[in-house]
Amino acid sequence: MKNLLLLFVLASPLAAQSPTAASLAHQVDAHYNHLQSLQARYTERYQGMGLDRTETGSLTLRKPGRMRWSYDSPAGKLFILDGKNAISYTPGDAQAQRIPEKQLDDLRSPLRFLLGHTELAKELDGLSLTAVNGGYTLSGTPKGMQQRVRSLALTVDSTGTIHTMRIEETDGATTTFTFTDMHENIPTKDSDFIFTPPQGVAIINGAAPI
């Protein structure tokens, strides 16, 4: 009996260190609620509809509500949130598409987690936690998107930092974002979040980019 009691006492601190889905979701919320800026490298992979496409680039984020996704290829491809609108532009196109940020209910919508706009435990149905490779994966189904998105999975570390985000749609297509070389709370430039169209390029109202 004493040996069993000793084993229980020794194991208890280890068990206490293991997060629950709810506690880790709160840690992620707190991390990004307090984050003011972020720079990182990203890899975006889309698999579905017979396609397997991978794009890479750099991400700059600044609160409130500003992001810049600069793609490596084609050079000059951009996705910008300026605090009010999202603007998507690919070099060679005659138009850049603009959509109000509040209408971004598409695949990029889960990226608002990086801006600290959500509460994971409230926004994901069936929230679950799995330990993976020294980190954790939080997964669930985004509320209000059940007809389009089967699951959203965030792979995070114990500090609540998101390293991978995977969106699986109901048709089986998946989009995975991986973040590396992350630098938090560093100075950013106002110009990073302003889109100046090249000569001859018009900005039009369009659909949310995928």
Q: How confident is the model at residue 117 (pLDDT cuts 50, 70, 90)?
A: confident
Cite the DSSP H helix spans in the chain: 2-17, 21-34, 120-123
Q: Are strands 202-205 and 51-62 parallel, antiparallel or unpaired?
A: unpaired
pLDDT exceeds cutoff 90 at 80: yes
For residue 118, the model assigns a pLDDT of 77
pTM of the model: 0.84
Q: How confident is the model at residue 102 (pLDDT cuts 50, 70, 90)?
A: confident
Residue type, 198: P
Q: Are strands 37-48 and 51-62 parallel, antiparallel or unpaired?
A: antiparallel
Q: How confident is the model at residue 113 (pLDDT cuts 50, 70, 90)?
A: confident
Q: How confident is the model at residue 66 (pLDDT cuts 50, 70, 90)?
A: very high
CATH homologous superfamily of 20-205 equals Lipoprotein localisation LolA/LolB/LppX (2.50.20.10)
For residue 126, the model assigns a pLDDT of 94
Do residues 165 and 176 lie in contact, with contact meaning Cβ atoms separated by under 8 Å?
Answer: yes
